[in-house]
Amino acid sequence: MGPREADETLDVVIAGVGGQGTITAAAVLGRAAVIAGYRVRGMDNRGLAQRGGSVVSHVRIGRDPESPIIPEGAADVLLGFEPSEALRQAHMLRRGGLAIINVKPVTPVAVTIGLSQYPSLDVIKSIITEAGARVLEVDAYGLANKAGAPISLNMVMLGVLAGCVNVLDIRLEHFEAAIRESFRKKAQEANVRALRLGYEEGLRVLNEGLGGGAR
């Protein structure tokens, strides 16, 4: 059976610091899409991910894409697990795109040893909004703690995405099934909880008119 027909493509960039779980988030999103029947292309830039460096993944779901790489200035959504990493990938977003940013910084060593300064969240937001995209701030660590698993911030972020963006016809249950495929039994419940908390936050924001659709 071939993949499901789709009228459109959803291009998502996931940016963060090595160790924050961006690659797992990309895999869960991709698996949810496959479970829902869609074709998926994507890429993990993972070479030195373990060592706290910048990491980025691309996930492309739906109709057209053959290339795993989202062209610059064409992404619909930027999931920024960390504010400066979100800024590092801000040029990927199209006009009218949405940046979902986890507000807590992970200070790079360059800043700690005094070689560089960390930009303020306000400045980061203004660069993105000046470029014609929208910003949604999330306290992902707060929600992850609420879910009982601080390292599940990646599932919180995916949940927010699921709640406030039209992810084609990929529903919460597809995400949950993807989590079950991606984690060991012991870790599944906490991650599903984190996903749901993020989802509720996403829905709330959508209802307040701040979120947006795929196109």
Partner 1 sequence: MGASSILRAPGSRVLLMGNEAIARGAIEAGVSVATGYPGNPSSEIIDTLAEVADKTGMYVEWSVNEKVAFEIALAAAYSRVRAMSSMKHVGVNVALDTVVTAAYMGVRAGLVLVSCDDPGSWSSQNEQDNRILGLHAYLPVFEPCNPQEAKDMMVYALGFSERMGHPVMLRSTTFVSHAIGDVVLGGVERRVNRRPVWERDVDVAVFDSRGARLNRARLLKRWEAIKNEVEKSPFNKSVVRDSRFNGARVGLIASGASYVHLVDALRAAGLEDKVSVLKISTTNPVPRRLVLEFLQSVDRVLVVEELEPFLETHIKALAQEAGVRVEIRGKEYVPIQGELNPSKVLYAVTRFLGLRGIGYADLERVNAIKSKANKILPPRPPVLCPGCPYRIPFFSIRKTTRGKNPIFPGDIGCYGLGYLPPFEVIDTILSMGAGIGMANGFSLLFPDRPILALVGDSTFFHAAMPAIANAVHHNRRMTIVVLDNDVTAMTGDQPHPGSSRDAMGNPSNRVLIEEVVRGLGVRHVEVVDPSDRLASERAIRRALSADGVSVVVFRRPCELVRVRDKNKSGEPVVPYQVDPGKCTACKICYKLFSCPAITKLEDGKASIEPSMCTGCGDCAQVCPFDAIHPVAEVVGEERVGAS
12 forms bridges with which residues in the sheet? Answer: 59, 77
Q: Which two tokens stand for residue 195?
A: 């996903």
- Could you tell me the CA-to-CA distances from 73 to 9, 13, 108, 131 in Å, in that order? 15, 11, 26, 10
Out of 13, 40, 138, 205, the residue judged to bind partner 1 by CB under 8 A: 40
Between 27 and 165, CB nearer to partner 1: 27
Q: Which residues contact 207 (CB under 8 A, 6 or more apart)?
A: none
The interface with partner 1 within residues 43-62 (CB under 8 A) comprises 43-48, 50-54, 59
Q: Contact letters (x/-) for partner 1, 59-98, by CB under 8 A? A: x----xxxxxx-xxxx---------xx-xx-xx--xx---
Out of 109, 185, 208, 209, the residue judged to bind partner 1 by CB under 8 A: 109
Q: How many CA atoms lie within 13 A of 10 on its CB side?
A: 25
Rounded to 5 degrees, what angle do the CA atoms 195, 196, 200 make?
Answer: 120
For the bound state, the minimum distance from the C-beta of residue 32 to partner 1, rounded and expressed in Å, comes to: 9
Assign 3-class secondary structure to 160-211. HHHHHCCCCCCCHHHHHHHHHHHCCHHHHHHHHHHHHHHHHHHHHHHHCCCC
For the bound state, the minimum distance from the C-beta of residue 163 to partner 1, rounded and expressed in Å, comes to: 22
Tell whether residue 127 is a contact of partner 1 (CB under 8 A): yes
DSSP state of 5: P
For the bound state, the minimum distance from the C-beta of residue 164 to partner 1, rounded and expressed in Å, comes to: 23
- Residues of this chain that interact with partner 1 (CB under 8 A) are 1, 3, 17-18, 23, 26-27, 30-31, 33-34, 38-48, 50-54, 59, 64-69, 71-74, 84-85, 87-88, 90-91, 94-95, 107-119, 123, 127, 130-132, 150, 181-182
